Chain A
Amino acid sequence: MRASSLTGILGLTLLAAGASSPARAAAPPAAAPAAPAAAAQAPGEHYTLDPAKSSLEFIFLQAGAKNTGRFSRFTVGLDFPGADPAGGRLDVTVDVAALETGDKDRDDTLRSDDLFAVTKFPQARFSATRIVRTASGFDAEGPLTIRGVTRDTHVPFTFREASEGGATVGYMAGKTVVRRLDFGVGQGDWKATDQAGNEVTVSFNLRLTRAVR
């Protein structure tokens, strides 16, 4: 009768790094020999997260019922030249230990070695190196790493810009399904999926601010 327990889950991660990766600046050799660093960074293409107005949630089945959790600490970097999404990058890094499902016992179980093993794998990460336009928005493609396991994935999202108080902000939203066992989130008893579903829906609703360069 004590309702204790826990659940399955996963979290996800997205995004990678974005902006400040030094490798990127070197890109276009042909064009402007004089100013190599500037070309890849047209003004307005880089966005960072407004954490106060953003959410990253995961929805999982526990004992046949839908439960929701969230990651309260994560970073997002988006390079997104709207006219040419293919030149974009999306980097998301999630502090997995900062998961919250509304129940401390469950959160602790999720952080434990058989599930997220946050001591050993504190971060989950999605580094999309390619963004393509789709009928309903965009699709970010790249490696997703959770619990030390990396798999190529893609994450569909929508993006719109708005002008707020003179600043340009971006609203990015989407969701994708991650199978937790693909990433080893669920060892031992937790490999069973009848009480803790394998499929976890990761959903994000982000407010991004455009960085001034």
Chain B
Amino acid sequence: MTLRNTNQRWGAIAQLFHWLIVALIIVQLTLAEMADDLPNGMRKLTFLARHKSFGITVLMLVILRLAWRWLNPHPPLPDNLKPYERKLATFSHGALYTLLFAIPLSGWTMSSARGFPVSWFGFFQLPDLVPRSRPLYEALVTTHVTLVCVLLAVVALHVAGALKHHFVHKDDVLRRMLPFTRNG
């Protein structure tokens, strides 16, 4: 597998971005769920600090990923897609990128509104995006959670699409994002 994308498949860098972000989304959901169940205290603080740091990591990865995508032609969708399938694919990919950008950003803004500045694993502190405001914080909590629900719905669509390519269309759309498959 090459580092860069080819006409046939995604390169190693694009795949790394894809799967790293998948892993981080799972970590993020887990940390958020665990923190939600805890009373205020050091453990909750720790989980939330990790959640914020990983969230900022996702934000950084998405920016790099979009830059890489822009620099680097990506393998085209198969020719035999129906127009609505093509539209659905384009829409869902656009939505995924947008959400992966908007969700961490809403989390960061929500921390600022709450008055808890965000640090990236203690290495550096991010600036507050908005002044402290309880109503704004409440609204951003709702926004953050709602966007996550939308993300999960779009991910479900994305996975369903990939599986349909693999099992119904029997093309290589799924395989070309898998690191260990041989494929043209």
Contact = CB atoms under 8 A, between A and B. Distances in A.
Nearest to B145: A1
A4 B132 contact: no
A54 interface: no
Contact of A1 (B107, B116, B117, B126): B107
A82 to B, nearest CB: 40
Contacts of B144: 1
B32 interface: yes
A6 to B, nearest CB: 6
B42 A4 contact: no
B115 interface: yes
B43 interface: yes
A64 B49 contact: yes
B48 interface: yes
* Secondary structure of the B contact surface, majority rule: helix
B45 A103 contact: no
A2 interface: yes
Interface in A87-126: 101-103, 105, 108-109
A195 B32 contact: no
B42 A1 contact: no
A205 interface: no
A63 B40 contact: no
B165 interface: no
Contacts of A62: 45, 116
A59 to B, nearest CB: 12
* Secondary structure of the A contact surface, majority rule: loop
A67 B152 CA distance: 34
A174 to B, nearest CB: 25
A190 interface: yes
Contact of A63 (B32, B36, B119, B123): B119
Interface in B77-117: 107, 110-111, 114-117
A190 B42 contact: yes
Nearest to B128: A65
Given A65-B119, A105-B40, A2 B45 contact: no
B25 interface: no
Interface in B39-65: 40-46, 48-49, 51-52
Contacts of B111: 3
8 contacts: A1-B32, A1-B145, A3-B114, A5-B48, A105-B40, A108-B40, A195-B42, A195-B49
